[in-house]
């Protein structure tokens, strides 16, 4: 079962969290798609077509679940787009927000994102949700 791991990827700290989610998913037996690992980063506008095709056209093939890291003052534009795309394709999603509670982050997360998926606050909670997802 394939999991798409979404989140901001502009700095090492952001990528490190995504890589921890990737390790957890793999340990639980999921196949993963991790955009910065599997397609790379956009260095300039010339990379846009490669990134879009790699991340969305190819990356979403056979995806059953999106795990999205939602930490920070705002959700990244790409992450929000990926979540909307997943929702439109009827692909389940789990959000991971470890830096503050959903209640405290309402202003930055938006009711739309909160209403579209289960959001957990720790890797341990994420592990539990992933285990339950495998059973479905």
Q: Is 7 exposed, middle or buried (0-12, 13-18, 19+ CB in 10 A)?
A: buried
**In whole angstroms, what is the distance from residue 71 CA to residue 76 CA?**
9
Using one digit for the tens of pLDDT, what is the confidence trace for 76-108? 999 999 999 999 999 999 999 999 988 888 887
- pTM score of the predicted model: 0.95
Whether residue 67 contacts residue 25, with contact meaning beta carbons closer than 8 Å, is answered with yes
pLDDT score recorded for residue 73:
85
- In the chain, the number of structural domains is 1
Q: What percent of the chain has pLDDT over 70?
A: 100
Phi, psi angle pair for 49, to nearest 5° = -60, -45
Q: What is the CATH number of the domain that holds 27?
A: 3.40.50.450
Q: Residues 128, 91, 3, 107: what is their CA dihedral angle, to the nearest 10 degrees?
A: -70
The H or E element spanning position 135 is helix 123-135
Domain carrying residue 25: 2-135
């Amino acid at each position: 079962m394939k999991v798409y791991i979404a989140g901001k990827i502009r700095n090492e700290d952001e990528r490190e969290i995504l890589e921890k989610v990737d390790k957890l998913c793999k340990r639980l037996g999921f196949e993963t798609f991790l955009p910065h690992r599997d397609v790379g980063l956009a260095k300039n506008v010339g990379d846009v077509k490669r990134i879009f095709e790699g991340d969305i056209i190819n990356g979403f093939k056979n995806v059953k679940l999106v795990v999205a890291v939602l930490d920070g003052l705002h959700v990244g534009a790409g992450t929000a787009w990926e979540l909307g795309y997943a929702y439109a394709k009827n692909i389940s999603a789990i959000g991971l927000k470890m830096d503050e509670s959903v209640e405290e982050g309402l202003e930055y997360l938006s009711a739309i994102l909160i209403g579209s998926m289960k959001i957990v606050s720790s890797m341990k909670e994420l592990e539990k949700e992933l285990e339950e997802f495998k059973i479905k």
